[in-house]
Each structure stands twice: as structure tokens, then as C-alpha cells.
Structure 1
Amino acid sequence: MSELKQTSRLLRPLWRGLPVVLVCLGLSLAAAWQYLRYATPMYESTAKIKLADVNEGAMNTTLIKNLDAFSGTDRSSAEAELVRSPLLLGRALDRLSFAFDLSTYRVGKLRTTEMYRASPFRVALTLRNPKWAEKAIDLRIDAAGALTLTAPSGEVVSGRLGQPMQLTGAEVTITRNEEQLKNRPDVPLADHYRLVQHDRGQLIEALGSQLDVSSTDHNVPVLRISYQSPVPQKAADLVNALTAVYLDDYLATKYKVVNATSQSIAEQLKTVRRTLSHSEDTVEQYRDKKSIVNIKQETETDLRKIAELKIQRANIQMSLAAANDLYRYMTNGKDHALALAPNFETFNDLLSTDIIKKIKDLQAEKHDLLLRFTPEDAQVQTVDLKLADLNSYLLESIRNTRTSLTIRARDIDRTIRQSQGVFTGLPTREKDLAILERDFQLNEKLYTFLREKETEAEIAKATPISYHRVIADGLVPTEPTSPHRGFVLLVSGFLGLLVGSLLAYLIAGVSATPGDAYAVQKEASTPLAATIPHLGEDLEGQLAFFKQLATRLALKGFFVPGSKLVVSAFSNKEGQSFFFEHLRQALALQGLKVRALVLRDATSPNPDAQPDELLLIQNLTLAQDSHALAVMTGAQANLFVIDSRTTPTARLAELDLLVAEYQLPNVQLCLNRDGYDPGFLRIAARRLRRWTRHVPQAAAEPTGLPLPAGLDLQA
């Protein structure tokens, strides 16, 4: 079976049960309409506040820094909790002139409506009994202005407008609201009312539970304040009063903190100023006492001086060592001084150079004289004496140089020791000075910080502005937020359709019929011999179809001469007579020798077929008489007529049991009106046409002319 047929089969009960679905839909919409008519509408008003930026304005400077490492970072959530706090709610109620503390209601036949500021009278109510809070006091005003009060305890007091009325637990004075009566002359004063004095604690708790305060976005510091009330003006008044109170409280809290901080800073500045002055004096005295200008520069100068002295001492020591070596060399070789070649690198002054030059000249002169004279000659002796004098002079010069270098080295060592003595106790002086300067710097920073904060506090005190901003006031709503008319009707319609569909499928399941050949073959084990569609009212078309049907049945062996063919059904509404009459006519037109017999009751004749004829019998219905089973038992073939719209599906299993129990011969089914599903509208139109034609409703199917009991028809 194709998916389309399967889908149509699933939807068939819904289509056939369309009246039930429509009735359920109508009832559901009617119930929703009545609910919307009598339900109390709720109106919502919303105000929005942009929170001040932490870097915006003088009020938000770094006057006070939060040093708590565990402090919260979600500022919007904290502000939302502040807005719905009992403190601000109580201030908002005070700002509204206690309009929320006393509720007045107009009592109607179907609904009680709160009047709020639209009340035609004013009430001054003083409760002496706290137990009467949140309890209703009944009030009736007649056309003459007479009042009747009924207390929660049942006490009844009468009076007039403007007259104080004393109850056991309260005192009530009711006057005319001339302004409201002037603005709304169509609103009557004489009516039935109810007064409720609220307990402030319970009222604040109720308002807090109904108030919705949230942030529009986690990263956007904007608070959204919403409140729902049956009275539109009441919702707008509360959110606007709450925003005003929140801004005032924020400003007052900020200035309270600023004033307290400014006073504390002023007191701290006095102490810090004295401490800073003492630190300055201490540093000054220590520098004077230790003669300190700049320890770093002085230390660098002394170290550079010592380094230079050490370099000089090293040079002198090298010169002294060279002079000692030369002196030792000259002393050891004084007997052959002319043969010596000392290193005079240390003595490179002009005098030493001149002496050496003279010695070399005398040596050259001696060599020249020895060529002409003997060593004992007076001229040669004179030259030797000059050389000896110069050598003695040179040796004495070296000795004096050694002495001078030694003295100079000793003086430099003494100077180095004196310079190094300056560093004795230097770490202690540096430590003491560092401690004093650190105390001075800390006091100076603290003084500077406090002076900056004092300036910020003065600026903040001079700018009385709150940087929280109301970016959207609470407007008086015109359309209720609940109940939402369209949504309620939509949901009610959906539920009506759902319930109607369930009922349609339930009814279809309880009164299930086969519908088509597939359902018959699925539910019954008895074979299906033929299916007859809905043939309408065309007689020629009906007869043409049954001619084809007779041919198909003949091919299946149902029309054997000398056999009895019985047409049976469960009831008269399944088209048994229609099938029998048209089959008889079709067989007669085909030239078969047919004898037709209609059984009216159990006494009707039930003969056997002759050898050359086909006996066609219209049996009694199974619902009418059990004699029909005996007729079916005596037949050679049985055609059982069922209808797709009137035969219950459960009876197919019953037929299978009867066939098996009574061993009924050759029983096969004939399905009348196969797949016929006209739907509710078509059935209604057909019944309307029948009603206009005065056709009796019992004639559901054309059955042809009835045959008298026991009448044999021969073709």
C-alpha cells in the first residue's frame, strides 16, 4: 500500500469525526472567550535606569577604592537587590502618600475591580485592631448618601458621607471625591464597595514578590524595573516612585560617604602633617651631625682618589725597584765601572743623560790617549780620575733617587690609609640615613595622597548630581500583558482541536468499520469475493456494474447449476437487499436459469435447487434470527454482505468464529460501498436533500422491488 493511501487511512477517522472536532473547538473557544471576559487583566509598566559609570563625574572618582579581594563584580545584580529591598519599597510607598496602604474595590455581580485613584470617594481609615489588617470591610452607599459598613467581625454601622463612623476595631470617615466625580460624572457614587487596609510588612513583601528587577544584559549596566497590577495607573506610579527613591537614596548615600570621608581625611591630615614635619627635622639634624651632603657622590670621589693614589704608589714602587736593582748593579761592579752597561731606563732625565754622555766621551778620549801614551801617563791618569768622579756622582745620584722614592711611597701609603678611614662606619650611616629618608618619603606620599583625596571630596561635595539616569519612565499601559487574548484563544483552539481529534479517534476506535477491502482482509480470515463501490443513484450504472460482478463471480465458480447460493448479512443496513436484487437482475440478463427466493421469517420455505437451475436466496439477517445459520449450512455457496460504513469491525471476527464453529460451506465476503467516505459536509447535504424531498431516513440504500415470501423468479 502506498504512503498516500496509508496516510488517508490514518486521517479518515479525523475526517469522519469532523463534527466532534468542530464541537470541541467551539466549546474550547467559547470557554476561552468567557475566561477572557471575566478574568482580571494585569497591566505591566516598566522603567529603566542607566547605572553611573565608575569613571564618570566627580561622584565616581577614586575617592574610595575597594581593596576587598573577595568583593563581588556583578554590580547590576547588587543594584537590583537594592531596588527590591524593603527599605526602598517602604520609601516608595511613603512617596505615594500611602495610596497603596488602603485598597478600594467596586464589587460587581461577576467581578470585583480595584479603583485606586479613580475612587468616587475618599477614605480616612484608622485601625485600632491589628487583626483587621488585610481583611475586607464591606461598604454600601445609596443614592441619598447613606453609608452602611460591615466589619470583618460582622459588626454593622450606618452613617452618612463626611460623618466619622466608629467600629470596634477601626474609625472610618468617607467623603466625596469631588474632583473625580467632576471628571467622571458617568461613574455613580451609590454602589457596593469593599475596603482593605494592608499591613505595611505584608504589603512590602507582596510588592517585592511581584516586582521584577533585572539587568538588560550582563555587560550593559541598565536596570529594568517592571511591576504588574490590575490598575494601569498603579503599576506606573509604583515603578516611577521606586526609580525616584532609588536615585535619591543613591545620592544621599554617596554624599553621606563623601562627608564622612572628607571629615576623616581632614583629621588624618593634621596628624600626617605633624609626622612629616618631624621626619624633615630628623633628616636635617642627622645630615648636620654627620656632615653629609651626598653620601653617594662623596663615596665615589673618595674611591676615585684612593684608586689614583694606588696607581701612583704602584708606579713609585716599580721605579724604586728599578733604582734598587741599578744601585746594586753599580755597587757590585764599581771596581770595573767602565766595563759595566747598566740599564738607565729609569733615569731618563737630562742630567743623567749628560753624565752618561760625558762618561762615554772620556772613555773615547782614554782610548785615543792609550794609542799614544801608556796607562801611567799623566794625561791618561787624569782621564781616569774624571771617570771615577763621574761614576761616584752617578752612584750617589742613584742612592738619592732611591731615598726620594722611598719617602714618596711612604707618604702615599699614609694618604691612602687616611682616605680609607673615611669609609669606616659608612654602612651604618647609609642605613640610618636610608631609614630616615624612607620614613620621610612614606609620610610625604601619605600627605600627598590625603591632599588629593581632600580635593576630590571637596569637588564631590560641590557637585550635587547623581550620574544614575532614568532613561525610560514607567508609562501607563493601555494593553494588558495577561491574559494575552490572542495567546489564550490560540492555546484554547489548539487544545479544542487536540481533544476533538482524540475524541474522533476514540469514537472511530469504538465504532470502527472496515472502510475498504484492505481493512477487511486485515481483520477477517474469511476470503473477500467482491467489492462494490458507492454506485450513486444511476440505475443503469448500477446494473452495468453488477453485470461485470456476476461475470467475476461466475469465473470463481459461484453460479453452478443445481447449487444453492445464499446471500446473508448481519443487519438490514448493510445493503443485503440491494445486492440481492441487482445480482438477480444481472444473472437474469445473462440468460441464466435462476430461481430467487426471499426469506421473511423462519417459516419461509427453503427448498433445494433443481439440477438445471441456480437457487438464489436472500437469507434472514443474523441479528434477526439464528435460523439464518441453518440456511447458510444447507447452501453450496454463501456470499456474506458487509458495509464499509455500517458493519462494525469486531463482527468480522465474530463471523470467522461462526464459520469455524458451524462449518459453514464456502463463505466469502462482499464489501458494499468499498472506500466510500463522504465526510460530514456531504452527508449533511445529502440528508438535507432527502429532507427537502420528504424521503424517509430509513431508506438508506435502494433495494429494488421486494419479493413476496417464497416467490420463485425464473429467467
Structure 2
Amino acid sequence: MNELKQNLRALRPLWTGLPIVAVCTGLGLTAAWQYLRYATPMYESTAKIKLADVNEGVLNTTLLKNLDAFSGDNRTSAEVELVRSPLLLGRALDHLNFDLSTYRVGKVRTTELYRASPFTADVKLTNPKWTEEPFDLRIDVAGGVQLMAPSGEVAEGRLGQVLRLNGAEVRIGRNDSLLKARPDIALADHYRLVRHDRGRLIEDIANRLDVTSTDRNVPVLRISFQSTVPQKSADLVNALSAVYLDDYLATKYKVVNTAAETIGERIKDVKRTLAHSEDTVEQYRDLKRIVNIKQETDTDLHKVAELKTQRSNLDMSLAAANDLYRYMSDGKRNALEMAPNFEAFNDMLSTDIIKKIKDLQAEKHDLLLRFTPEDEKVKTVDLKLADLNSYLLESIKNTRNNLTIKRRELDRAIAQAQGAFVGLPTREKNLTILQRDFQLNEKLYTFLREKETEAEIAKSSPTSYHRVIAAGLVPVEPTSPHRTFVLVLSGFLGMLLGVLLVYLLSIIRSTPGDADGVQKETRTPLAAIIPHLGRGLAGRLAFFTQLATRLALKGMLAPGTKLVVSAFTDQEGQTFFFEHLRQALAAKGLKLRALTLRDAQSPNPDAQPDEILLVQNLPLDQDSHALAVMSGAAVNLVVIDSRTTPTSRLPELDLLINEFGLPNVQLCLNRAGYAPGPLQLLGLRLRRLFTVRRAARPVAEPLALPLGGLDLQS
């Protein structure tokens, strides 16, 4: 509860000072309104450009991917700097009429006309110092023209004539197209011309130009420009967008054309080198009689392998023949008893001879059964066997000789076949080198031919894949000053200033406010706390009757007591307190003598033993005689007001009490905690004014309730 009271006490000055806050807020809004009325508004127009995708359009070719000069990777930060570059800004200004600015000079504000100028102007400066300097122009109703140069030189003429100055030539004409479209525009007026320097103009535009990307991962440029003329801001962003697209397209295709020419020249050189490589390979193949080294080598290897296989077979046959011949030669005397291995001789002739030999041997055995070995028949059979055996042995010998001859021929054929491999690695190496050079030249030629084709395709499609996705529109509402923001901010600052002023005045005009505020500032005790009692007489008397009872209980109203009611000024409710306390004491039936001191000459008696002397003292800040009256009193009640008594008075009262030894001084706080609202104060002041006017009339006033007390409580 105490915390709530503290908060309410802190807000009390703000409540009572609401008129000041309202006035300050109103002044802030008025100042903002005047500022908005005379401030030059700035309009902003915005255009958006979607950058080309590297995978989009005919520019997406191997040519653009492989060569860095044709890289389609557009980094947004680099494109931002390109758009802001003086190069593109200068090209954009070449398409716009920004070099000459025309203004209509008014009494309060000068307005730029741009396309709304009712006249045309052509200014040629020969004095470069006059750039960025104003030319004063006046056109009258009759068509007369008066031009003042920055140096003060004046030239006069008529519309359509050339006005010559020492540093410039100016021609002023009528803008008939605009005057016909808008007849409400007056031609006769006061104007100003400014010829801009191109460098300064580009710098000024760059300061008001904002080029950003909407997002780091989204290739979209946002171009914004601010100007005092809405049409001017839209024209610049649109012209800059068009120049950027044209520059992108021209740069890309200039590089493509250059590359196409370079590729064509390179193709001629590579073609000659490729032809030389072909001729070299052909001559080497003819010289070395090479058709296909791999196939020839495989054939020769297969041939050598077959010859070696034949030689191996022949060697085995020859070995068998040698063994058979040796076997037959060693046992020719008893050949009939031998059984040689004829595995190597399996032809028909050998088989037939062996069969005949076996038949003769069988026949001999049969003859020996009947005849003796010396018989002619037996001998005849032996002769036949000997002939066959000799024939067979001679056949084996001839066969062996034939096999020997064949083996020598096979050895010679193998040696001849293996001679083809002599120098083969060298031939392969040389041919590989020549073929490698040929293949490299062929690949380079093929690559360049592909690039030439792609470059021709790119040249045949002169289209930029940057796209303007949002053109700059003519703005309707200004971006600065923002009317709502300025009004809200000014109102808030005015209100804040009013609050600070209220609390500053509250600190300067600090008053006690309530009993807590009094006790914080002084050690003098409080004898009475009087709230705001309204205008009812019965309620006031009832409160003061209770107050008189409390004072009596404190021993302040004993018979023979001199009670002095004092105050610092007349505006603190001293009269109100004195009159109502007097009436309350009289209503209680106490013997009372009331005395009001008018000046220092007024009598100041002491109280009789059987009475209470109630004295209304002089104000403390008017006459020091009031201190003498307080020194002779038994009880001193000092009336202070919660709204009119400065807080600094309370320490002063403590000093007076200590310095003059004033007896039994206690405070009475009038209108404790009273904080009327602004409307209530206004009503009270109107009522006071009305009461004062009525008081000027000869009307009898009630004696029971003095006017001063009513006013102070109100």
C-alpha cells in the first residue's frame, strides 16, 4: 500500500501538469506540421534486375564454360559495383536531361520542374566556373526574358532569341507541347537555371543511388534512387537498368566476336600443323613398310611359334628315326629275330613291308618243318627277307636324312622370321611419337572447330539473359520526410518535453503535497491535517469541531491559552483555518476571544485566565512583527498549504524556531493530498472569475463563511 502511495505521489505532478504536457505536444505537432509543409520531399523509385543464370540460353555452351573470358558466373557483389560505376552512370545520363536543372522560385520554397518546365532552355557555357552556379531567369506575360548570370551580368530579350553573356549563350523557348497539354501552368514567373558539371552530377547521383542484392543466394539486383522529383527518380533507375543490360550484352558479344576471330586464325595454324603430321606419319609408314605394327607383330609371332612347333615335331620324328636306324643297323644279322619300334613309320609302304616280312618269317618257319636250312626254298625265303630288311633300313636312312634337311630348313625359316623383330621397339617408339603428335593436333583442331561453331551460334543470338523483373515506377508518396513518422515522433518528443518540463517545474515549485512530504522536510510536528473539505458549510464545521476536540486533548485549548494562527503568505489558508476554528470553538461553548492583526500597530494583548485568545497573525514574509506575536503565544499553529507553500519554507521555519526560540510551534497542513485535474482547475478558475464579477456588485455576503477560506479550499 505504501508503495502504491509512493507511485501515485510520483505521478501527481504529471496529473496536475497535463495542460503543460498537452501544450508541448501541440507545439511539437504544430512544428512538425510546419516542417512537413515547407520541407522538400524526397521520392524513391526502385527497379529490380534478375541476373542471367549460367545454365540459361545459348550462352550456356562449352565455350563459355571452359574459357574464363566467357565465364557466366556473375557474382552479385561485382555486379553491384558495376551498376554504381561512373561509366554506367555517365552512359545513363547521356539518355537523360539531367545536366540542366530548372527551378521555379517561390516565396517560401524553390521547386525543381524537370519535365514540368513550361519553357525549354539551351545553355552553352564558355566559362567553366559557372557550372553549378544559378542563372536567375524572369519571364513576363508579354514573352520578355531577363537573364542574370552568376557574375551579375544581365541580358534581356524575348522567347526564342539567343541571350549572349560573357561566359555563356542561353536560348529560352516555349514548351508548346506541355503548355497545350496543361493550360493551367503559367509561363510568366521567376525561375532559376543551373548547369551541372558531369563529374559532380555523377558523384551526387551516386550518393543518392542504392544498389543492393535482395539476398546473398538470389541473383537479383535492387536499384533505388531518391530525388525531389518523382519522375526523375523513375527515369534514372529505368535508364540505368537499360544501360546495364546493353553494356552486359555488348561486353559479352564483343568478347565472343574477338574469340571467334582468334579461333579462326588458330584453326588455320593447327590445320597446317595437322597436315604436316599426317604427311610425316605417311612417309614413315612407307619408309618402314608399316601397315599395322600390332597385327604384323602378332602374325610374325604366330608364324615363329608354328615353325618352332613344326621343328619340335620334326626333332621328335628325327630322334625316332635315328634310334630306329641305329637299332636296325646294330641287329641286321639277326633282323628276323628283332622287333623294332615302327611308331615313327606308320605309312602304308612301311606297314606293307613289315607285313611281308612277317609273312616270309612265317613261311620260313613252315619250310623249316619240312626242309633243312640249306634247302633252296629256305634260302630263297632268307634272300627275300634280307632284301626287304635292306630296303627297310635304306628307307629309314633316307627318312632320317630327309628329316635332317627339313630341320635345317626350319631353323633357317625361324631365323628369318625372327629377323622381323630386329629394331621393332625403335619403330614402335618413333611411330608412337608421330601418332601422338598427330592425335594432339587432331584433337586441338576438333576442339577449335567446336568452339568456332559455338561462337557462331552465340553471335547469331544477340539477346541478354539479364531481365528487368520490376521497372521503376513514378512514386506517389515521398519516402522522406515520412509524414506519419515525423508527426508521431514530434508529438512524442513534445509530450516528453512537456513531462520533463512538468517535473522540472514541480522540482522548482516543490510543495509538501501531503503529511509524508512535510515530515521529510522539517522536524516541526504536525498538529492538524486538513483535507479538501469541498463547499459544504456543515461538513467544514463538523471537521473543525473534531479538530478542536483533538487540539483540546493535546492541551492546546486550556483556559488562559493564547493560540496564534500564522502563515507565510495570505494564500496558504490562514484566514480559512482561523475563521472555521473560531466557529468550531464558539459552537463548543468555550469562552473565546478572536483577534485579527491588520498591521504592526494592531493591539497584541495576552489571554485572560478564563478565556482562550485566538489570534490571526500577520504573514511571516510581510512583517517581522509576526515573530514577536509568535514569541508571546502559548501555542503557535503555522498553516501551510499542500499546493502553494514551497518546500523550502519548511527548513526556513525550523531556522526561525531555533533562532528566535518560538514556543510550541506546530504545523497545520491545509488541503492535504489535494491534486485536482486540469479540467477541475479550469472550472475552479472560471468559477472564481465569475465570483469576482459578482463580488463587484453591491450584494450582501454571508458573514458565517468568509470568502478567503472558500477560495483557498477551492
- Classify 1:655/1:292 alpha carbon distance in 2 versus 1 (closer, same or farther; 3 Å): farther
Shift of 1:552: 2.9
1:154-203 deviations in whole A, cap 9, x for unaligned? 11122112222221112222222222221222222211111222222222
Q: Which residue of 1 aligns with 2:46?
A: 46
Report how many residues are paired. Answer: 685
- Structure 2 distance, partners of 1:168, 1:72, is 54
Q: Which residue of 2 aligns with 1:144?
A: 142
Amino acid of the structure 2 residue aligned with 1:668: Q
- Structure 1 distance, partners of 2:681, 2:695, is 12
1:327-384 deviations in whole A, cap 9, x for unaligned? xxxxxxxxxxxxxxxxx9xx9999xxxxxxxxxxxxxxxxxxxxxxxxxxxxxxxxxx
Amino acid of the structure 2 residue aligned with 1:484: H
- Structure 2 distance, partners of 1:257, 1:27, is 65
- Classify 1:428/1:47 alpha carbon distance in 2 versus 1 (closer, same or farther; 3 Å): same
Amino acid of the structure 2 residue aligned with 1:679: G
Describe how 1:537-552 pairs up with structure 2 within 5 A: 537-552=535-550
- Classify 1:284/1:551 alpha carbon distance in 2 versus 1 (closer, same or farther; 3 Å): farther
1:256-295 deviations in whole A, cap 9, x for unaligned? 2221111111111111122222223333444555555666
- Classify 1:310/1:178 alpha carbon distance in 2 versus 1 (closer, same or farther; 3 Å): same
Moved more, 258-267 or 220-229: 220-229
- Classify 1:595/1:260 alpha carbon distance in 2 versus 1 (closer, same or farther; 3 Å): same
Q: Which residue of 1 aligns with 2:168?
A: 170
Q: Which residue of 2 aligns with 1:456?
A: 454
Q: Which residue of 2 aligns with 1:621?
A: 619
Describe how 1:646-657 pairs up with structure 2 within 5 A: 646-657=644-655
Q: Which residue of 1 aligns with 2:440?
A: 442
- Report the aligned-residue RMSD: 5.1
Aligned equivalent of 1:159, options 150, 157, 160: 157
- Classify 1:508/1:424 alpha carbon distance in 2 versus 1 (closer, same or farther; 3 Å): farther
Amino acid of the structure 2 residue aligned with 1:248: D
1:59 alignment partner, SS class: coil
- Structure 1 distance, partners of 2:502, 2:221, is 51
CA contact (8 A) 2:49 2:469 kept: yes
Describe how 1:548-563 pairs up with structure 2 within 5 A: 548-563=546-561
Q: Which residue of 1 aligns with 2:28?
A: 28
Q: Which residue of 2 aligns with 1:493?
A: 491
Describe how 1:268-417 pairs up with structure 2 within 5 A: 268-290=266-288
Shift of 1:606: 3.1
Q: Which residue of 2 aligns with 1:4?
A: 4
- Structure 2 distance, partners of 1:662, 1:313, is 159
Q: Which residue of 1 aligns with 2:584?
A: 586
- Classify 1:675/1:434 alpha carbon distance in 2 versus 1 (closer, same or farther; 3 Å): farther
CA contact (8 A) 2:65 2:72 kept: no
Q: Which runs of 5+ in 1 are unaligned?
A: 322-343, 351-401, 708-715
- Structure 2 distance, partners of 1:558, 1:307, is 153
- Structure 1 distance, partners of 2:553, 2:307, is 147
- Classify 1:67/1:635 alpha carbon distance in 2 versus 1 (closer, same or farther; 3 Å): farther
1:303-328 deviations in whole A, cap 9, x for unaligned? 8999999999999999999xxxxxxx
1:414-455 deviations in whole A, cap 9, x for unaligned? 999988877665554554444333323322222222111111
Q: Which runs of 5+ in 2 are unaligned?
A: 320-340, 347-399, 697-701, 708-714
Moved more, 7-16 or 145-154: 7-16
- Classify 1:697/1:128 alpha carbon distance in 2 versus 1 (closer, same or farther; 3 Å): farther
Q: Which residue of 2 aligns with 1:221?
A: 219
- Classify 1:5/1:496 alpha carbon distance in 2 versus 1 (closer, same or farther; 3 Å): same
Q: Which residue of 1 aligns with 2:642?
A: 644
CA contact (8 A) 2:565 2:614 kept: yes
Shift of 1:540: 0.7
CA contact (8 A) 2:51 2:74 kept: no
TM-score, normalised to structure 2, is 0.80
Amino acid of the structure 2 residue aligned with 1:590: K
- Classify 1:298/1:684 alpha carbon distance in 2 versus 1 (closer, same or farther; 3 Å): farther
Q: Which residue of 2 aligns with 1:533?
A: 531
- Structure 2 distance, partners of 1:311, 1:652, is 142
- Structure 2 distance, partners of 1:682, 1:200, is 67
- Classify 1:268/1:603 alpha carbon distance in 2 versus 1 (closer, same or farther; 3 Å): same
CA contact (8 A) 1:119 1:177 kept: yes
Amino acid of the structure 2 residue aligned with 1:518: D
Shift of 1:82: 2.2
- Classify 1:480/1:705 alpha carbon distance in 2 versus 1 (closer, same or farther; 3 Å): closer
Aligned equivalent of 2:196, options 183, 195, 198: 198
Q: Which residue of 2 aligns with 1:371?
A: none
Describe how 1:229-244 pairs up with structure 2 within 5 A: 229-244=227-242
- Classify 1:589/1:269 alpha carbon distance in 2 versus 1 (closer, same or farther; 3 Å): same
- Structure 2 distance, partners of 1:405, 1:646, is 156
1:79-108 deviations in whole A, cap 9, x for unaligned? 222223222222222223xx2222221111
1:586-614 deviations in whole A, cap 9, x for unaligned? 23333444433333333333333344443
Shift of 1:621: 1.8
- Classify 1:320/1:144 alpha carbon distance in 2 versus 1 (closer, same or farther; 3 Å): same
Shift of 1:124: 2.4
1:58 alignment partner, SS class: coil
Q: Percent of pairs identical after alignment?
A: 72
- Structure 2 distance, partners of 1:487, 1:531, is 49
- Structure 1 distance, partners of 2:706, 2:112, is 76
Q: Which residue of 2 aligns with 1:676?
A: 674
TM-score, normalised to structure 1, is 0.80
Shift of 1:636: 3.2
Moved more, 51-60 or 104-113: 51-60
- Structure 1 distance, partners of 2:657, 2:628, is 12
Shift of 1:57: 1.3
Describe how 1:260-275 pairs up with structure 2 within 5 A: 260-275=258-273
